[in-house]
Amino acid sequence: MSEKKYPFIPLDWPRLSPEESQARVRAFRELMARRRTVRDYSSAPIPEGVLEDAIACASQAPSGANQQPWTFVVVTDPELKARLREAAEEEERESYANRMSEEWLEALAPLGTDWNKPHFTEAPALIVVFEQLYGWKELPDGTRKKVKHYYVQESVGIAVGFLIAALTQAGLATLTHTPSPMGFLREVLGRPENEKAFAVLPVGYPAEGAKVPDIGKKRLEEILVRR
């Protein structure tokens, strides 16, 4: 137990009026209610700095012991996107044909997904999110030791939520893609052995005439319980 406690500083958080609270959360609710998972992308570029700001938002997420066990890899190089698409499609072809259960395929059928992943190359950017299963601490003698990370999946999941909200705020569309297995992402992107791919998010503007399935979310009464 050699770790020192952090100094504590005053919280910098202004108190909003009830009206302001209500107005802000309503506006945010309306924005988030319009968000859709998009599979058809325009190749139009993303304005300079937007991805960086969105990833900076994601990095503000709470995490277990503030360990921030995440890495965000931004891929814009067309050749690399094509390699990732090829690798993802190879895995997905196998998954759809042999690895996914009948029940799983049935659950997905109404959404019309298949092994084809054109968004990997059509979207101007892919954000590949990695979880850091453990970290490294440099010791005074120049060696390093493994540091256990806590609540990694929860932390990274929250950060991806922040990321999607930030990109939505910027008027961009995303798709939360979790190819399985995802080992190829670490290999192709040259990430270290303590990192494991968590999700791939194609990001961009929707293609002209993009269509989305006519689905909605559960009503508040179905998901909100008061005790």
Choice between 69 and 179, CB closer to ligand IYR? 179
Instruction: Name, in order, each residue with C-beta under 8 angstroms of 138's C-beta and a sequence gap of 6 or more.
Output: 144
* Count of Cβ atoms closer than 10 Å to residue 38 Cβ: 22
- Span near ligand IYR by CB under 6 A; candidates 163-171, 173-181, 193-201, 206-214: 173-181
- Span near ligand IYR by CB under 6 A; candidates 45-53, 75-83, 174-182, 201-209: 174-182
Choice between 40 and 92, CB closer to ligand IYR? 92
Q: How many residues bind ligand IYR (CB under 6 A)?
A: 7
- Span near ligand IYR by CB under 6 A; candidates 47-55, 68-76, 123-131, 172-180: 172-180
User: CB of 73 within 8 A of CB of 127?
Assistant: yes
User: Is 101 exposed, middle or buried (CB count within 10 Å of its CB: 0-12, 13-18, 19+)?
Assistant: exposed
Q: Rule CB under 6 A: which of 97-136 touch ligand IYR?
A: 108, 113
Choice between 92 and 195, CB closer to ligand IYR? 92
CA-based angle 117:175:78, to the nearest 5?
55
Site membership for ligand IYR, residue 37 (CB under 6 A): no
Site membership for ligand IYR, residue 92 (CB under 6 A): yes
Site membership for ligand IYR, residue 180 (CB under 6 A): yes
Distance of alpha carbon 139 from alpha carbon 94, whole angstroms: 44
Site membership for ligand IYR, residue 202 (CB under 6 A): no
- Span near ligand IYR by CB under 6 A; candidates 148-156, 177-185, 192-200, 203-211: 177-185
Instruction: Name, in order, each residue with C-beta under 8 angstroms of 155's C-beta and a sequence gap of 6 or more.
Output: 61, 62, 63, 64, 67, 68, 69, 70, 131
* Count of Cβ atoms closer than 10 Å to residue 127 Cβ: 23
Site membership for ligand IYR, residue 179 (CB under 6 A): yes
Q: What is the 3-state secondary structure (H, E, C) of 196-207?
A: EEEEEEEEECEC
Helix pair 18-34, 152-169: axis angle to 10 deg:
90
* List 17, 98, 143, 178, residue binding ligand IYR (CB under 6 A): 178
The torsion angles phi and psi of 94, rounded to 5 degrees, stand at -65, -40
Choice between 179 and 206, CB closer to ligand IYR? 179
Choice between 68 and 174, CB closer to ligand IYR? 174
Distance of alpha carbon 55 from alpha carbon 162, whole angstroms: 9
Taking the complex as a whole, how short is the minimal distance between the CB of residue 121 and ligand IYR, in angstroms? 15
Binding site for ligand IYR (CB under 6 A): 92, 108, 113, 177-180
